[in-house]
Structure 1
């Protein structure tokens, strides 16, 4: 059986090799044979969702503003045996979250549909078989709808290359849609490029480059102070303080790698896989070591007990499990990120980490209670006072952490609102 240190060493290298075999990009959304899926009375491919900041309009389409969504070589393909007819248009529709109600419609107050139905056609509001959309009253020229159709005996058609200027800050969504049941075997290839005024980082990630830059500087200053004190009192250093030194060092590397990751991502539009994997790994090791330090301190290691005894293997097992679960989650969330929306599959990987975190918290506070009772029974008042302050500080940290989790959940709900409501109202998903 592999030792935990061997697993920790091998896992990031294996992940890097696996991910290098894939071309993972963000802001540059690639479509390689994406198949249209029937949802309601339409056939759909989700092309991406990102927050984009506004910019001043460009002079023309060949000279776009600083913010845009650009179509590059978007090609729709169909099998040769299904090419004996000319078709209606296959559309690319781009809309902002506030315009979601302008997509789709319903007759007599029924379920909203993307494609015009016979009842709606009789009302004269649309042409049967066409996508239903209405111009936005708050954002002139939106939603943006562009299409291409198949000629008879042709197996592919290409969407005209263009740049869509973004002049309003918001959450933008792209869908490829058609309404022709005879085109159910159509695939889409090509890519779209999504750009913010400051670079290629999606709107949700744009502030993170500056954040990690400041955090890198803060960790450097903390490291200078800590290592100066470490060198000054090196004869009195405890094993536990060596662990704190390790955490600070890991934090310095993590912040630096994240900054370089977002800087290159912002410059090129392509996420640097190797840097992202190492940033994720340093962060995961740091969080794992931090939790283990809190746990063994709560158990009274070096205070009321000289060793952990039979608990050592359980502590190492919990730490190793948490590391693996967190590493997998972070790799999926960061290395494979394409849109600002979180994938539904992410929930499957969040749950193990959340459960392990809850187990850490439960074990830490249970151990603290036991240690406090031992200190009180032995009348070690000075250490008892320190541990009480430690318990209070830890309780405050847990409360703040729960508050931050709630904030993140609210942010994710907002980011997914456009996609969820659009899908629900138009029979998609």
Structure 2
């Protein structure tokens, strides 16, 4: 087994995450654009403006409309690009905002015209299939509202142009993506500044995160009920309390605080559209502390602490070191996932922080199961040697049965998640793949699911083979 070492790597990851978070603020459903550049794809250039699950507006209820609002979005081109035109010229550069629902992703680009192009070419223009200089969009007869395009032009030699502030109402439930795109190579180097506001009928929480607010509310009450029952039993038998019981009490208290903080964080997010930095940091910290203590508690119980071992002896320092390193790595990952824009970090950045946590989780699993195996052997020898006529033989079936039930439950979950479907490759392109795999030893911890711009690109532009 690998001996846990120092925390240099996770500490560096935490420092990088904190620096990035401080630099970009704490906006979420309000997506800020601070001078980002456009990336080339096929014969176009694009900027990922955000993606969220939105519910359709319900005119029959008293709830607000679901919308995407463009607030003071400004495009800034280079002086070299502006100098190529005359002062009196009009429409010297076109930038388009494309709003597409995930099921309409195949409507963008020339795949239906048997072309790999995303922007219209002179050849396609001759066929009257599109207009040169515009993104190719095929209307969806089943969804007249999408995909939507909003055009903004530069005039003369102006280096800046602004989108007209406007609100796009969402009338269909789905996962929506926003892309800013242009086709003119002379606009290369274009920057975008401003923000867009995304809102569901019940608030600013994205559709995939909205149920979590209710979940955290119920979990807060569940932890409160568990805490009351545990406290009553703790007081009744306080003379027989073991050190292990104090650790269990700490896990319950941390779980109660964690769920409460997450509920208030989501409630504030839902009402304002931004994540409250203070509450979020506390919630993230409680999550990291509880995950660490939960794993440590499961580890020491598996070692037989309080059952066959009065103390951990010489391995105490190793257990503490593993817990400290895990806390630092987990805190860094939770900060990146829960503070700031919900889909700003790329897959590579997140992978850099996920790997240390995955390695440490694997270390915990190996150590727990190897310790549990040795502890069960000691218990079996003890019962066989000291009390061969013990009535415990009537319960001996529980341990092997437990492992069979656990294996069956895991198999059933796998069968449900990976059951045959009409679109089996959908998992390969799912934005949420791998984001909900946060395994807890003694607790359930919900985490918002995060997306990345890189993965979204695969959704919207599957026909581009050269990117």
Distance in 1 separating the partners of 2:71 and 2:416: 39
Q: 1:126: Cα distance to partner?
A: 1.6
**TM-fit CA distance, 1:310:** 2.2
Shift of 1:105: 0.3
Instruction: Say if 2:298 is the partner of 1:299.
Output: no
Aligned counterpart for 1:104 among listed residues 100, 103, 109:
109
Match of 1:125 in 2: 129
When residues 384 and 18 of structure 1 are mapped into structure 2, their CA distance, relative to the original with a 3 A threshold, is farther
- Separation in structure 2 between the aligned mates of residue 198 and residue 428 of structure 1, nearest angstrom: 41
The more displaced of 265-274 and 346-355 is 346-355
Deviation at 1:327? Answer: 1.0
1:23 paired to 2:28: no
**2:210 paired residue number:** 206
Measured after TM superposition, the shift of residue 401 of structure 1 is 7.3
- State how 1:346-357 maps to structure 2 within 5 Å: 346-357=350-361
Q: Provide the residue aligned with 2:228 in structure 1.
A: 224
Instruction: Tell me which residue corresponds to 1:425.
Output: 463
- Residue 27 of structure 1 and its aligned partner are, at CA, apart by 0.6
Equivalent residue in structure 1 for 2:35, among 33, 36, 44: 33
User: Aligned partners of 1:54, 1:423: CA distance in 2, in Å?
Assistant: 25
- Matched residue of 1:227: which SS? helix
Change (3 A) 1:14 1:421: closer
Native 8 Å contact 1:19 1:273 kept in 2:
no
CA shift for structure 1 position 344: 4.4
CA distance in 1, matches of 2:414, 2:224: 25
Residue 213 of structure 1: how far off its partner (Å): 0.8
Counterpart of 2:432 in structure 1 is: 412
Q: 2 CA distance for matches of 1:132 and 1:79?
A: 25
Contact 2:108 2:118 in 1 (8 A): yes
- TM-superposed CA distance for 1:217, in Å, is 1.0
Q: Partner residue of 2:444? A: none
For residue 210 of structure 1, report the CA deviation from its aligned partner.
Answer: 0.9
Query: What SS does structure 1 have at the residue aligned with 2:210?
Result: coil
- SS of corresponding position for 2:144: coil
Q: Which residue of 2 aligns with 1:89?
A: 94
Deviation, 1:113, is 2.1
The answer to whether the 8 Å contact 1:40/1:113 transfers is yes
8 Å Cα contact 1:69-1:165 kept in structure 2? yes
| Structure 1 segment 375-390 matched on structure 2, within 5 A | 375-379=379-383
- Cα displacement (A) at 1:304: 2.4
- 1:354-379 residue CA offsets vs partner (Å, 9 max, x unmatched): 22222212211111111122222233
Deviation at 1:82, TM superposition (A): 2.6
Q: Which moved more, 1:160-169 or 1:337-346?
A: 337-346
Q: Does residue 283 in structure 1 map to residue 282 in structure 2? A: no
Task: Tell me how far apart the structure 1 counterparts of residues 198 and 292 of structure 2 sit (CA, whole Å).
Answer: 35
Change (3 A) 1:145 1:107: closer
Compared CA separation, residues 95 and 31, structure 1 to 2 (3 A): same
Report the Cα offset of residue 343 of structure 1: 4.1
- Cα-to-partner distance string for 1:309-341 (whole Å, 9 max, x where unaligned): 222122112111211111111111111343499
Report SS of the residue matched to 1:378. Answer: helix
Contact 1:375 1:383 in 2 (8 A): no
Match of 2:66 in 1: 67
After TM superposition, list the pairs within 5 Å mapping 1:8-407 onto structure 2: 19=21, 22-56=24-58, 66-84=65-83, 85=85, 87-106=92-111, 109-110=114-115, 112-339=116-343, 343-379=347-383, 403=413
Is the contact made by 2:111 and 2:463 (CA closer than 8 Å) also made in structure 1?
no
1:352 CA displacement: 2.2
- Cα deviation, 1:59-117, whole Å, max 9, x if unaligned, reads xxxxx95100001111111123431225231000001011111111048734x321012
Number of paired residues? 415
Q: RMSD between aligned alpha carbons?
A: 3.4
Distance 2:169 2:269 in 1: 21
Give the stretch that moved more between structures: 214-223 or 300-309: 300-309
Output the TM-score relative to the length of structure 2. Answer: 0.80
Q: What is the match of residue 61 of structure 1?
A: none
How far apart are 1:146 and its partner, in Å?
0.5
- Please give the alpha-carbon distance, in whole angstroms, between the structure 2 residues aligned to 1:102 and 1:356: 43
Q: For the structure 1 residues 219 and 273, does the alpha-carbon distance in structure 2 shift closer, same or farther, using more than 3 Å as the test?
A: same
Alignment check: 8 A CA contact 1:113 1:427 kept: no
Which runs of 5 or more residues in structure 2 are unaligned?
1-5, 86-90, 419-426, 435-450
Is contact 1:100–1:418 with CA below 8 Å preserved after alignment? Answer: no
**3-state secondary structure, aligned to 1:251:** helix
Is the Cα–Cα contact under 8 Å of residues 24 and 340 in structure 2 kept in the other structure?
Answer: no
